[in-house]
């Protein structure tokens, strides 16, 4: 038990160094034109990325003070410790535990002009199915939702529910933001589902695009 606890305490530090070493070998291409106007205006946004594609994000957008919703599970505690090492600020909660509380905290962060990162199919799936919490948060705050995807020319895939992607060292890696999406204030009921499908389709499309580009 003591060894297991020690391992959990050391894992975030080891993980952060491993991520830095891996990222240093990658040939990165960033496509950020769609979000440059938001950055220039200092406007907060809700960035959404599928669970399988999030590995590199803490390194790529380190030091920006992004807020991230992280599960309250034991694994979530390790992830929280890891991303904080890259300057992320974590809010604990998920769709199953503390979800409403987590969304309220994210809404406060957006109103204080902080951008947030959400993994809309995590932490348990189903894979690449967007949960409605993204729509609710965007409707309540008026912040744009921005699809974000990462792909590598060569990668390992975990035998997990999401087929988690790990870029292989020295591979070509593409990072792309999609067009910002504004959810109407009256998007409730059928309108909420329409907005959910629109965001899901946009995120799926930009993910497909980076997959194709990384393989070229």
Q: How far apart, in Å, are the Cα atoms of 159 and each of 22, 66, 165, 190? A: 21, 29, 10, 36
Domain of 184?
2-215
Report how far residue 76's alpha carbon sits from residue 79's, in angstroms, rounded to the nearest whole number: 5
Condensed to tens digits (0 to 9), the pLDDT of residues 1-48 reads: 444 454 456 688 999 999 999 999 999 999 999 999 999 999 999 999
Taking the C-alpha atoms of residue 74 and residue 72, their distance in angstroms, rounded to an integer, is: 7
Mean per-residue pLDDT of the chain: 91
pLDDT range class, residue 71, cuts 50, 70, 90: confident
Q: What is the domain count for the chain?
A: 1
This model's pTM is above 0.85: yes
């Amino acid at each position: 038990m003591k060894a297991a606890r020690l391992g959990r305490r050391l894992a975030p530090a080891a993980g952060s160094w491993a991520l830095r070493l891996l990222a240093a070998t990658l040939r990165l291409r960033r496509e950020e034109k769609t979000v440059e106007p938001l950055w220039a205006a200092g406007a907060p946004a809700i960035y959404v990325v599928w669970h399988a594609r999030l590995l590199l994000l803490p390194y790529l957008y380190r030091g920006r003070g992004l807020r991230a919703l992280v599960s309250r599970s034991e694994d979530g505690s390790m992830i929280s410790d890891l991303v904080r090492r890259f300057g992320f600020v974590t809010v604990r909660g998920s769709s199953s535990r503390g979800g409403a509380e987590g969304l309220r905290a994210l809404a406060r962060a957006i109103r204080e002009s902080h951008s947030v990162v959400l993994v809309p199919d995590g932490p348990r799936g189903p894979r690449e199915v967007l949960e409605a919490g993204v729509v609710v948060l965007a409707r309540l705050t008026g912040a744009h939702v921005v699809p974000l995807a990462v792909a590598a020319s060569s990668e390992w895939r975990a035998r997990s529910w999401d087929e988690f992607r790990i870029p292989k060292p020295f591979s070509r890696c593409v990072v792309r933001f999609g067009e910002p999406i504004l959810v109407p204030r009256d998007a409730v009921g059928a309108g909420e589902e329409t907005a959910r499908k629109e965001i899901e389709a946009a995120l799926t499309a930009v993910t497909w695009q980076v997959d194709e580009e990384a393989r070229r």
